[in-house]
Amino acid sequence: MPVGEVSSSSIPEGADPGEVAALVAAGRLADAARLCAGSGRHAAAAELYERACDFASAAEQALLGAEPGRALRLAVLSGQAELCARARARVVSVLGPRELDALAADLCARGHACEAGELWCVLERHETAAGAFARAGEVLRAAQCHERAGQPAEAARVIEVALRSGSAQCGGPDREAELRVALGELYGRHGKHEAALRILQQVAPGSPLRRRALRPLATALERLGLGQALEELRAEARVQGRSLADADAAPAAATAVPPPSAAPARLFGRYDVVREVATTPHARVIEARDGLTGERVALKIFASRLTGAGRDALQRFGREARALARLQHPNVVPLRDFVATGPAIVLAWMGGGSLGELMGRGPVAPARAAEIARAVLLALGEAHRLGILHRDVKPSNVLLDEAGTPKLADFGAAHLAEQEATVTAAEIGTLGYMSPEQRLGRAASAPSDVYAAGVLLYEMLTGRLPEGDAAPSRHQPDLDERHDALCARLLAAQPERRLQSAEEARRAIEALDWPTRAPPRAAGPVAAPAAATSASASASPRLGPAREPARACDAAERRHDAWTQRDVLVVALDDASLGRAAAFARAGHPALPLVLRAERAAAGGPERGQIWIEAARGRSLADSGELLDAEEHACLLAAIEALHAAGGAHGCIDADHVFRQAGALRLAYPRAPAAAADAAGDRAALVRLRGHECK
């Protein structure tokens, strides 16, 4: 209706028609509406308020005028939740099912799908309501309606689609965690405990939703027989000052879970759990029995809770599966199956334990050491032939079957020939077994794997990692200069001076005679370089005076590592320092310093344990007087959030601890962290750094 016109119904009885018409003609619709409302003509007032786009007032007048359907439409346009609730309650109390259904369809057609869904829920048309909520982007309400309609699989699909599509990330980490918890609870309610475990363990410990995830996560672990992981979860709950029974209850749609049965838990419909063997930040290893073949197997199930690092860990998991699928060799742990829905890698069970455990039980005879090194080199030779570099050869990745046959395992760090990414020492591998070029961040090669095999051989022969003069005959009297020369060629610092292939190294080992006697000696690797009254003092030839320019406040703890040719901070190892360093190691953010080594002192010795940490390089903000821009502030914020998610805190963020080198920003290791360091303090300190001159 044109602004200057007014219907006869718009003129209130008893009101001056001329006055109302004049107000409308002048465009003063709100004044005309108030005049109508004051005279009790609510329908006319609602019409005028609607024309004036005052939808809240129009809805109120429609409610007073006994027009609940119109009131609800207007209330939705107003965007006021409380008004919508009142109008909806009036509609439900007045209209019959047929009228309600028609109103819901009309609202949906007008683009108000969420409000339509609420009405269809009242009518218990849950499947129709789920479609409306899905159209409105209300993922959890849509899933809830599908479950009420007896469609739990469709409910799970709705949430999974939201997680995969990336729409959850738009709402931030809390929104994504909320969806994961809801999906995990849904799986748990319907007995899908494997799927519940997979999704719930991705809710980071630092997330506000973690508390709600504890109870369904505990139920899944209990049902699957994962006792060790359940104890870890109980310990986490105790740290938070609660028990698992105190965790937030699941939503009202949850039903009670029946007590676990005596039958063994079955994973992926085929594998009966025997026991949980180990847990890492990225995987759980479970001994199981294949229900189809009866064979003992090891299930390696992906389980990453570390924010930021989880996607990289999943890529490593996929790399391992692809590498093992290509490798069919008697000295490689056989791949039995890959379960994409886990994801999980199923491996043949290695009943003989690891090489690390073998060395821990006592000295290894040189002939046995040569046999094991030869087997590792045979496996590496086959891998290199297929274009696969292992890059993480170490004692825990060499497993023995029941007959004692060595088999190379854990190709998660493997570099496949079709991949072009170069992974640096900061991202992959284990420092003590890395080649010098990897420690410097250069690309790995076949001689890099040969170097790691040489470290294994040396450690088996001597009981220690190579350091300084790597002549094994100094520690093993049955060896001679021929064995020394071989180890020197395997462990040459320059790749071009090293034995160039696994095949060449294997032949060199086979060309020598190896003693069969294992003389008594201390088992296992030697302790870290000794620390005297301060952690910085060391008599080890590997550590010397610092060579790089440093601030005076760093000088006492700073030393030069002859192995890696870089300065390191050497910190005394105690429970507090070890816990702090472990959090930095778990965080794995490129703006945080690397934890390079942590070893306790030898039992009964005078030394103290040590932690070696990457020393800061470049210029600090305190020296340069520069400011943090928005991008740099965001980088450091991401770094400390990764640290908090790993269970740690910095406690000493200031201009002295922020360094720039070659365009990169790094946060130095805390020199004197506050006793009560926490996430809030770190964030506040970082805020103080931004926008203020660093002096």
Active centre residues (catalytic): 392
User: Are the C-beta atoms of 379 and 408 separated by less than 8 Å?
Assistant: yes
User: Are the C-beta atoms of 499 and 509 separated by less than 8 Å?
Assistant: no
Distance CA 552, CA 656 (A): 11
Encode burial over 179-202: b for 16+ CB neighbours within 10 A, e otherwise: bbbbbbbbbbbbebbbbbbbbbbb
Phi and psi, residue 673, nearest 5° = -65, 150
User: Are the C-beta atoms of 650 and 670 separated by less than 8 Å?
Assistant: yes
Distance CA 451, CA 254 (A): 55
Q: What is the DSSP letter of 530?
A: P
Distance CA 468, CA 458 (A): 13
Non-local (6+) Cβ contacts of 18 within 8 A are none
Question: Which amino acid belongs to residue 656?
Answer: D
User: Are the C-beta atoms of 562 and 493 separated by less than 8 Å?
Assistant: no
Burial tier of 346 (Cβ tally within 10 Å: 0-12, 13-18, 19+): buried
Nearest partner of 694 among 610, 597, 628, judged by Cα:
628
Distance CA 77, CA 56 (A): 8
Extended strands (E) in 291-397 = 296-302, 335-339, 344-348, 388-389
Two tokens, residue 369: 């050491």
* Alpha carbons within 13 A on the beta-carbon side of 278: 10
Cα 434 vs. chain centroid, distance in angstroms?
25
Residue linked to tokens 């109302």? 20
Rg for the chain, CA atoms, rounded: 34
Polymer length in residues for the chain:
695
Map residue 612 onto helix, strand or coil: strand
Q: What is the DSSP letter of 332?
A: B
